[in-house]
Amino acid sequence: MSRARTERVRVAVVGHVEWLDFALVEHVPVPGEIVAASDAFELPAGGGAVAAVQLRKLAGAALFLTALGVDERARRAGAELRGTHGLELHAAIRPRPQRRAFTHLDAHAERTITVLGERLVPHGADALPWERLAACDGVYLTGGDGAAARAARAARVLVATARAADALLDGGIVPDVLVASGRDERERAGLAALPAPPLATVLTDGARGGRWLGADGASGTWPAAELPGPPVDAYGCGDSFAAGLTYALAAGTALPAALDLAARCGAHCLTGRGPYAAQLALGAPPS
């Protein structure tokens, strides 16, 4: 049974930010080729930021605990995530440049990413409002250290990406739900590294939907949601999916219905340019 629609679901993200440069191309260049971009744009993103903005659009507010660098891109990232996207962002400052990524967006709506620089994640020793996570209905973890993972575990529901496996292992933490790409070997390795299985493991498979496995032996699948428009840009679809899943579970929705909402979030994201333009707006999960 989901929570009353008049009761706000309290959500947060613990994780990372990257500064993204996007180039629209007909196709990703092959070795030695030069391609011309038809357009280009830049914005703050990364899995933590995209998920936090999607959660804010679903829940009305979202707390985001992260780390930023000291350069102009870091300053712009913080300002845009707070101002343009309405996040309550608290960031530790690292004495290094902001992590960046370059993304080709091709004519088939696929994204191809090259990451530049060290991943910046929050640590439990950072002077951030970690105590507030205990009051959250749901937290999504994309990165941190062991102490950050333990603080995130204080929430009623903890969802984590398999790419945060190092933080989970360092903290001795098992999330309620672990989300991984069923086609990514690194993420499957993160699943195998955990000392115990989460209550549910969610394995995504893009346009084919995905499958879930329960620690009790239960399992199931879900289909991809119908697109609300033509596909435009796949960047951020998986992060929006994970945010939708976190929100629905935090609201008390059972896993099958939570996966339906998550799939809708991923589908909506696919129909906008950049990760934020078409994310699913404020709403409540099905009961």
**Given a cut of 80, is residue 107 above it in pLDDT?**
yes
Q: Are 121 and 144 in contact (CB under 8 A)?
A: yes
SS3 34: coil
The angle at the Cα of 262, spanning 102 to 65, to the nearest 5 degrees, equals: 60
Note whether 109 and 232 are within 8 A (CB): yes
Percent of the chain beyond pLDDT 70?
94
User: Could you give the CA distance from residue 45 to residue 85 in angstroms, rounded to a whole number?
Assistant: 11
Mean confidence (pLDDT) of the chain? 93
Q: Which amino acid is at 220?
A: G
- Mean pLDDT for 259-276 is 97
Q: Provide the β-strand partners of residue 41.
A: 22
Mean pLDDT value across residues 67-91:
98
Can you give the pLDDT at residue 285? 41
CB 120 within 8 A of CB 67: yes
pLDDT band at 283 (very low <50, low <70, confident <90, very high): low
pLDDT value at residue 7 = 76
Looking at residue 185, its pLDDT comes to 73
Q: Is 157 helix (H, G, I), strand (E, B) or coil?
A: strand
Does 260 score more than 50 pLDDT?
A: yes
Over residues 147-169, the pLDDT tens digits come to 999 999 999 999 999 999 999 99
The whole-model pTM stands at: 0.93
| 6 pLDDT higher than 90 | no
Rounded CA separation 124/128 (Å): 8
From residue 5, give the alpha-carbon distance in Å to each of 128, 135, 245, 253: 30, 18, 17, 12
- Per-residue model confidence (pLDDT) at position 284: 40
Domains and CATH numbers, the chain: 11-16+46-94+120-270 (3.40.1190.20)
Higher pLDDT, 284 or 280: 280
Q: Each residue of 39-65: pLDDT tens digit?
A: 999 999 999 999 999 999 999 999 999
Out of 92-106, 173-187, 212-226, pick the least confident. Answer: 173-187
127-138 average pLDDT score: 98
CB contact set of 35 (below 8 Å; sequence gap of 6+): 25, 26, 27, 28, 29
CA distances from 70 to 17, 32, 73, 85, 167 (A): 13, 34, 8, 21, 24
Residue 286 pLDDT exceeds 50: no
- Given this model, what pLDDT does residue 3 score? 53
How many residues comprise the chain? 287
Q: 185 versus 128: which is more confidently predicted?
A: 128
More confident: 205 or 193 = 205
Give 102: exposed, middle or buried? Use CB within 10 Å, 0-12, 13-18, 19+. middle
User: How many other CB atoms sit within 10 Å of the CB of residue 215?
Assistant: 13
Q: What is the pLDDT of residues 134-147, one digit of tens each?
A: 999 999 999 999 99
**What pLDDT score does 282 carry?**
67
The mean per-residue pLDDT over the stretch 183-199 comes to 76
Interatomic CA distance for residues 287 and 208, integer angstroms: 24
d(CA 50, CA 15): 10
Average pLDDT over residues 19-31: 96
Which pLDDT does position 211 carry in this prediction? 96
